Amino acid sequence: MTENLKDMTCEEFQSHMPEMIGSGEDLSGHPHVQSCALCRALLQDLETIAEAARQLFPVEDPPDRLWEQIQSAIGRDKDSEEPKEPEVTEKQPSRG
C-alpha cells in the first residue's frame, strides 16, 4: 500500500502536524506542505511559535502540553474535548 501524503486533506495534515514536528520530522519537505501554501504558512507560524516556546519553557516540559498551548493559540480546537479540570500544577516532590 502506498500512502499518498500529498493527497491528505489540510485537516488530516494539521492533525498530524504536532506529532510529526514533535518526532523531529522535517515538515518543510513534506509533500503536502510543498503543494499547499496554506499549510506551509501555518507550519511557519508553528515553527516560529515552537521556537519561541522552546526558549520560554525548559526541555523538561512534555511537548504534548506545549502543543496544546500552541494549538489553542491557533484557535483550532473544534473536535477536541477540553478537560474540565482547573489548572494542573505539577508538584515536584522535594526530597523527603
CB closer to Zn ion out of 10 and 74: 10
What is the rounded distance in angstroms from the CA atom of residue 50 to the CA atom of residue 32?
20
Counting Cα atoms < 13 Å in the Cβ hemisphere of 17 gives 26
Q: Report the residue from 36, 43, 46, 66 that binds Zn ion according to the rule CB under 5 A.
A: 36
What is the rounded distance in angstroms from the CA atom of residue 79 to the CA atom of residue 54?
26
| Helical ranges in 1-96 per DSSP H | 10-22, 31-35, 37-56, 63-74
Stretch of 5-13, 54-62, 69-77, 88-96 lying at the interface with Zn ion (CB under 5 A): 5-13
Pick out residues in 45-74 that bind Zn ion (CB under 5 A).
none
Q: Report the residue from 8, 21, 39, 46 that binds Zn ion according to the rule CB under 5 A.
A: 39
Q: Shortest approach of Zn ion to residue 10 CB, angstroms?
A: 3
CB closer to Zn ion out of 65 and 76: 76
Would you state the cell numbers that stand for residue 52, as one nine-digit string? 519561541
Q: Which residues here bind Zn ion, judged by CB under 5 A? A: 10, 36, 38-39
